[in-house]
Amino acid sequence: MTEPSAMELQRRLRGLQEEYLQQLPAKIRSLVVAWSSLKDQQWERPLLESVYRLVHGVAGSATTFGLAQVSEAAKELEALLALARVDDFTPDQQYFEDVQSSVLKLVNASQRARATALKVVAPPDAPAVSESANEVYVVEGDDHVASVVVAQLGYFGYEVRRFERFGGVEQALRERRPVALVMGIELPDGNGAELLTALDVGLVSGVAVVFISSRDDFATRLAAVRAGGAAYLTKPLDVAALIDVLDRFAGRKPEEAYRILIVDDSATLANFYKLTLEQAGMVGRVVTNPLEALAHLQEFNPDLVLMDMYMPECTGAELATVVRQFTVFLSIPIVFLSAEKNLERQQEAMSLGGDDFLTKPIQPDYLVSAVASRVQRARALRSIMYRDSLTGLLNHTESKKQLDIQLSRAIRSQMPLAVAMVDIDHFKSVNDTYGHPVGDRVIRSLSLLLQQRLRKSDIVGRYGGEEFIAILPDTPLEAAVKVMDEVREAFSKVEYQTPQGTFYASFSCGVAAYPDFAGLDRLLEQADQALYRAKKAGRNRVNSAGEPV
């Protein structure tokens, strides 16, 4: 999703402010009419709630659009109306006069709104991505170690430039900044950590420094930290661990954008929140009718629901209670965003299914921070439930669930879908010969390679043990076979160094596709049979469903 430029963002914000200013007179007229009805007719609780909701909405939204005086007048009126919401309240003449005076103050403030409007605050920008996200500088005096690192990083898609001595890297850093600097501690021209400490700090600003060393003592690790090291790996080098570190700093296979469902009966205010969150790299969807929220929950599959408290036909607390009746939505955080300051009412809303309560008006940067932290925690919890602990890939159950979802989409859209079953060859022998920790390294390196070489839209899971599954939407059989064969070839070149010696691994793969085979079980069965034929034919190959032995 393309982020709007600063000028475009400011234009949109001014447009939302203008839209709000145009709507404000009608809101105030509705409020005056509702108050007159409440005052002149019999004191009725539903009508009081209607008046309170109108005032509450103005109090919470006016500040967002730079109308501080309107907001202050609305808050004063809201506080008076809140007194009447308690049980057994009977208004007297003085109460009516106080409210009438407050209503007039709000009317006057709204009439001056355009003249007193402040410039709305722009949301924070999404973080920029480094221009050299694939380039890595390697400073290592040992030719063998350096050649292994350069070759292995190349298989994982990195562009590597090697320096034997630290002296040569300073000028290179002045010319171009890599995403990472892999530094040996033991270098021909001195200690890597000490040399880096003496370097102009500006040259490595924004560059992730990864130290590699044959030493594993605390003093050396501490020196690396003080030199600005972001990670420290020991020799013999675990290439999968290095790739994992570099991928994290390079932002490869970036995390899917946070998806936020915004439920608020004020379209103008909801779109302001949407713009704020989207400028921070999130994806927002606005629902102005709370009765339609369930349908959007099912279709949009949000990470978080941002919900107003007071809406016509259905309050936020009532909607949260309905949402929590569905077990499939239990893990989705619900955050109330309201001008309600009464702690008892906030706690009541939380007890009915809310996870957090934010008070209007809210600064854009604080809204982004609060939403992002909630989504991060929710995703972390879901990851424990749905992902494999060793690789971070989807587990067996979630992989089948995702295949079912993707197959249903393929059938609806009449687009192809490919499924690949992958199994590491002779994996038991790897564990028996080199030990289970080394076997885990092999599994992790394959998981990283699959995630790197496949598209963001593709889905990878650990199906069990040394077996993986890859789901490739919108991909015909021939294209899937070609892609998986490229992954197979790259994986066969990854080198594993152990005390028992160096070795390489390989995998066999079977691929089946829709519409050649329909139904989840049929697809998996055909991919499994193709995998079996690949193993029977000698391993280290990719077979497609229907191929002869």
What pLDDT sits at residue 249? 77
What pLDDT sits at residue 132? 57
Q: Which of 217, 384, 223 is nearest to 209 (CA)?
A: 223
Q: Which of 510, 471, 514, 507 is nearest to 489 (CA)?
A: 507
Bridge partner list, 180: 136, 208
User: What's the CATH number for 135-250?
Assistant: 3.40.50.2300
Question: Which of 114-128, 299-313, 481-495 has the lowest average pLDDT?
Answer: 114-128
Answering whether pTM is above 0.85, one says: no
What pLDDT sits at residue 263? 94
pLDDT tens, residue by residue, 376-390: 888 877 777 788 878
Let me know if domain 6-116 sits in CATH 3.40.1390.10. Answer: no
Q: Cα(282)–Cα(299) distance, rounded to whole angstroms?
A: 17
pLDDT tens, residue by residue, 442-462: 998 999 899 888 988 899 999
SS3 state at 195: helix
Which residues lie below 8 Å from residue 218, measured CB to CB, with a gap of 6+? none
Residue 549 has pLDDT above 60, yes or no: no
DSSP, res 64: G
CATH class of 260-386: alpha beta
Q: Cα(367)–Cα(121) distance, rounded to whole angstroms?
A: 12
What pLDDT sits at residue 128? 45
Residue whose pair of structure tokens reads 């009516």 in the numeric block: 96
Residue 370 has pLDDT above 70, yes or no: yes
Let me know if domain 396-544 sits in CATH 1.10.10.60. Answer: no
Residue 480 has pLDDT above 70, yes or no: yes
Q: Cα(263)–Cα(287) distance, rounded to whole angstroms?
A: 5
Helices 6-40, 267-279: crossing angle, 10 deg rounding: 150
Q: Cα(151)–Cα(160) distance, rounded to whole angstroms?
A: 9
User: What average pLDDT is seen over the chain?
Assistant: 85
Q: Cα(524)–Cα(512) distance, rounded to whole angstroms?
A: 8
Q: Identical fold at 135-250 and 260-386?
A: yes
Confidence band of 94 (pLDDT split at 50, 70, 90): confident
Cα-trace Rg, the chain: 30
pLDDT tens, residue by residue, 62-88: 777 777 788 788 888 888 888 887 777
Domain boundaries, the chain: 6-116, 135-250, 260-386, 396-544
pLDDT tens, residue by residue, 203-262: 787 788 899 998 999 999 999 899 888 889 988 888 778 887 888 777 655 567 899 999
Confirm if 333 and 269 have CB atoms less than 8 A apart: no
Q: Which residue has the higher pLDDT, 159 or 339?
A: 159
- Burial (CB < 10 A; 0-12, 13-18, 19+), residue 494, is buried
Between the alpha carbon of residue 314 and those of residues 310, 345, 418, 450, the distances in Å are 8, 16, 44, 46
Q: Which amino acid is at 23?
A: Q
pLDDT tens, residue by residue, 128-179: 434 456 889 998 888 888 888 888 788 777 888 898 888 888 888 888 888 8
Confirm if 375 and 283 have CB atoms less than 8 A apart: no
Q: How far from chain centre, in Å, is Cα 370?
A: 14
Question: How many residues are given for the chain?
Answer: 549
Which phi and psi angles does 261 have, rounded to 5°?
A: -95, 120
Confidence band of 119 (pLDDT split at 50, 70, 90): low
Q: Cα(372)–Cα(272) distance, rounded to whole angstroms?
A: 17
- Which of 6-15, 261-270, 451-460, 485-494 ranks highest by mean pLDDT? 485-494
